[in-house]
Structure 1
Amino acid sequence: MKVFITGVTGYVGFAVAQQFLSHGYQVSGLVRTQEKAEQLIKLGISPVIGDLADLILLAECTHAADGVIHTAISHNSDMEKLDVLAVDAMLEGLEGTGKTFVYTSGTLIYNDTHHDVVDEDSPVKPLPFLQWKAIQEQKVLTAAERNICTVVIRPALVYGRGGGLVGATIQRTKLTQFAKYVGDGLNAWSTIDVDDLANLYACAYSFASTGSLFNAASRELITTKDLMIAIGKIAGVAEIESCSYEEAVHVLGPAAWGASINQRISGLRAEQQLQWSPSANSIVKEMEKGSYQAMAKIKR
C-alpha cells in the first residue's frame, strides 16, 4: 500500500510518516529541497521535490498513491490560496477512485468554547481569518459524493518530541523572559501528544467511514496558568504571573488571542469509532520528565 503525505518533514507530518512506515506502508512525501529529500531517503521515505503550488505534480502523486494525507500548510500570506488550490488538485486526482484523503484542520475553528466541552456535532464559530479552514473542511467532507473516502481531523494543542507550540513557547520564553498568562489563567486547552495523533491518522485511514470528522484530543485539559508555570520552570523564569490581554498582545501579537480562550474539546468519537486510545505522557509529565527537558540544558 502506498500513501502520499504532504508536509512530510513537518512536526505532525513526520510523525505520521513514521507511523505508516511502522505499519508496512510505502510512504512518499512532498519536500521543498534536495537536502530534505536525501534525509527522507535514509529513513525509507520516497521524496517528491515540490510544494503546494505544484498542482500538476500534486495531482500525479495522488493519482499514483493508494491514499493521501494532507498535513502541509504554508506559513505566509498565500496560506489560504495555496491550500485551496492544492486540495482541489488532490481531490481531482482521487476522484472516482474510492481512495482515502485525510485533511488536517484544527480545533481553533470552534473559537472560544468557554466552559463547554465541544464535540464534532457542535457548531464552529471561526474568526474571519479562519473562516476559510471551515470552508475547506466542508469541501473535503462533501467530496465523499465524488467517490473519495474523505476524512477530516481537527487536532487540539499538539505536544511531544520537544516540539510544536510548546517547544516554540519555551524557546521564546527563554529569549524574552516573559512567562505570563492572560487574566486568571483558568482558561483550559485540550491536548494531544504528536505520536498519539499520528496513530489516530493511521486508525482513521484504516477504519473511518467516508465523510468522517474527528477531533484529535486526549481526555487531558491544562489551564494556561499551569502550562506557563511549567514552561517558565524549563525556561528558567523565576516569576510567572498574570498579565492583561493588551500586554499579551504587545509581546505575543495575534497569538495572544489563543492564549486567552478556552479550547475544551472532546475526542471521544475517535475513541469509540476507530479503536484508538491516547496513551502518551500527559503534557505536564512530558515537560517535567520527558522530551522538553532537553531545552532546560540549552545555555541561557
Structure 2
Amino acid sequence: MRVFVTGATGFVGSAVVAELLGAGHQVLGLARSEASAGTLQQAGADVQRGSLEDWQSLREGATYVDAVIHTAFNHDFTRFAENSQVDRQAIETLGKALEGTDRPLLVTAGVALLAPGRVAVEVDKPPADPNYPRQSEAAAAELVERGVRASVVRLPPSVHGIGDHGFVPMLAAIARDKGVSAYLDAGANRWAAVHRSDAGRVYRLALEQGATERAYHAVAEESISFRAIAETVGRQLGLPVRSVSGDEAAEHFGWFAMFAGMDTPASSERTRALLGWKPTQASLFADLERPGYFEAAHV
C-alpha cells in the first residue's frame, strides 16, 4: 500500500512510518519544514510539503494513496481548544478527499475520559459533548456517517520510548521545578501505557486487515497506578515523593492537575484478538528506569 501519514516525523508518527516501511509499504509523509522533509527522505519516504492548516496540501496528500493515517496534533496546551479545532478541520479535509472511495482513514484519538470509573474497551464511545477536550473521534464518527471508511486508534496517556515528550516527562519537569515528585491524594488513579513502536504496529496491522473496526486500542499495559509512576520519577531524579491535595495540588501541578488526576485504565483485548497484536517492547517502568531517560526525553 501507499499510505499518506500526517505527523510523520512526530513521536508516534515516525514509529508508524518506520513500521510501514519495514513491512514493505510506501509512505508519503506530511512535512512542514525542510528538516522534517530531509528526515523523511532519509528514512525512505516520499514527502508532501504542507501543514494541518494547509488544507490544499492535505487534499493533495490524500488523493493518490491507498490509505491515510492521521497522527499529527499540536500539543501546546495553552492553545488546546484552538489546536483541537485545527485537528478537527484537518480530519474533515482528509475525509472529503476520501469520500466516495473505499480507502481507509485511521485517526488518532485517546482513551482519556472515555469510561470514567472503569476499564475502557474498544466499543466505548466518547461523550457526545462539544466541550469534550479533543474532537478527533467525533470528527471521524461524522465521516463514517457520510460513508467514509474511518476508524480511530486510541492511545493511552503514556506513549513512551526514547525521545518521549509526553505526559510522564511533563510530570518529571514539574517535579524538577518543585523539588518533589507528587501524586494526588492516595495516587490510586490509573494510567494505561504503550511503547511507541508497539503503537506503530497497531496502525499497520489495522490497515493491512482492512481497518474494519470503529476503534482500536494501542494499549500494552492496562492499569498502572499514578503513585507508582510518581515514585519512579522521584527515584530517577533523586527527589522526595509525597501526596498533595486540594489547593496544594492545584499549586503543584498547575494546568497539569487534570491529567495527574485522570483515572484511565483501558483494555486492548479486542484489538489483540482482531489484529493478532502482541506488544513486544519495554514496559513503561523498564523504560523510565533506563539511565538518562528523562535527559533523552524532550521536556
**TM-score for both structures, normalised by structure 2:** 0.88
Question: 2:109 is aligned with what amino acid?
Answer: S
Question: 2:152 is aligned with what amino acid?
Answer: V
The question of whether the paired residues in 2 share the 8 Å contact of 1:185 and 1:225 is answered with yes
Tell me the equivalent position of 1:103: 107
Supply the distance in 2 between the matched residues of 1:78 and 1:270 (Cα, whole angstroms).
Answer: 31
Supply the distance in 2 between the matched residues of 1:176 and 1:275 (Cα, whole angstroms).
Answer: 44
Tell me, yes or no, if structure 1 residue 168 matches structure 2 residue 170: yes
Tell me the equivalent position of 1:200: 202
Question: 1:216 is aligned with what amino acid?
Answer: A
Tell me the equivalent position of 1:135: 138
1:14: Cα distance to partner?
Answer: 0.9
1:162: Cα distance to partner?
Answer: 4.3
Cα separation, partners in 2 of 1:80 and 1:288, compared to 1, 3 Å: closer
Tell me the equivalent position of 2:283: 282
1:79: Cα distance to partner?
Answer: 1.3
Cα deviations across residues 160-186 of structure 1 (Å, max 9, x unaligned)? Answer: 224132233334433432310000001
1:10: Cα distance to partner?
Answer: 1.1
Cα deviations across residues 273-295 of structure 1 (Å, max 9, x unaligned)? Answer: 11111122221122124xx6343
1:20: Cα distance to partner?
Answer: 0.6
Computed over aligned residues only, the root mean square deviation of the Cα atoms, in angstroms, reads 2.2
- Equivalent residue for 1:180, pick from 182, 194, 202: 182
- Equivalent residue for 1:80, pick from 78, 84, 93: 84
The question of whether the paired residues in 1 share the 8 Å contact of 2:2 and 2:67 is answered with yes
The question of whether the paired residues in 1 share the 8 Å contact of 2:111 and 2:120 is answered with no
Cα separation, partners in 2 of 1:154 and 1:235, compared to 1, 3 Å: same
The question of whether the paired residues in 2 share the 8 Å contact of 1:183 and 1:243 is answered with yes
1:245: Cα distance to partner?
Answer: 4.0
Tell me, yes or no, if structure 1 residue 42 matches structure 2 residue 45: no
Tell me, yes or no, if structure 1 residue 32 matches structure 2 residue 32: yes
- Identity within the alignment, %: 26
1:68: Cα distance to partner?
Answer: 0.6
Cα separation, partners in 2 of 1:266 and 1:140, compared to 1, 3 Å: farther
Cα deviations across residues 51-100 of structure 1 (Å, max 9, x unaligned)? Answer: 11111111111011111100111333521321222112111111222111
**TM-score for both structures, normalised by structure 1:** 0.88
Supply the distance in 2 between the matched residues of 1:162 and 1:85 (Cα, whole angstroms).
Answer: 28
Question: 2:265 is aligned with what amino acid?
Answer: R
Question: 2:142 is aligned with what amino acid?
Answer: K
Q: How does 1:201-280 map to 2 (within 5 A)?
A: 201-237=203-239, 239-280=240-281
Cα separation, partners in 2 of 1:162 and 1:248, compared to 1, 3 Å: farther
The question of whether the paired residues in 1 share the 8 Å contact of 2:49 and 2:57 is answered with no
Cα separation, partners in 2 of 1:154 and 1:252, compared to 1, 3 Å: same
Supply the distance in 1 between the matched residues of 2:73 and 2:87 (Cα, whole angstroms).
Answer: 7
Question: 1:57 is aligned with what amino acid?
Answer: S
- Unaligned runs of at least 5 residues, structure 2: none
Cα separation, partners in 2 of 1:297 and 1:9, compared to 1, 3 Å: closer
Supply the distance in 2 between the matched residues of 1:109 and 1:136 (Cα, whole angstroms).
Answer: 17
Supply the distance in 2 between the matched residues of 1:99 and 1:133 (Cα, whole angstroms).
Answer: 19
The question of whether the paired residues in 1 share the 8 Å contact of 2:113 and 2:262 is answered with no
The question of whether the paired residues in 1 share the 8 Å contact of 2:193 and 2:284 is answered with yes
Supply the distance in 2 between the matched residues of 1:285 and 1:51 (Cα, whole angstroms).
Answer: 35
SS in 2 for 1:121: coil
Supply the distance in 2 between the matched residues of 1:19 and 1:131 (Cα, whole angstroms).
Answer: 26
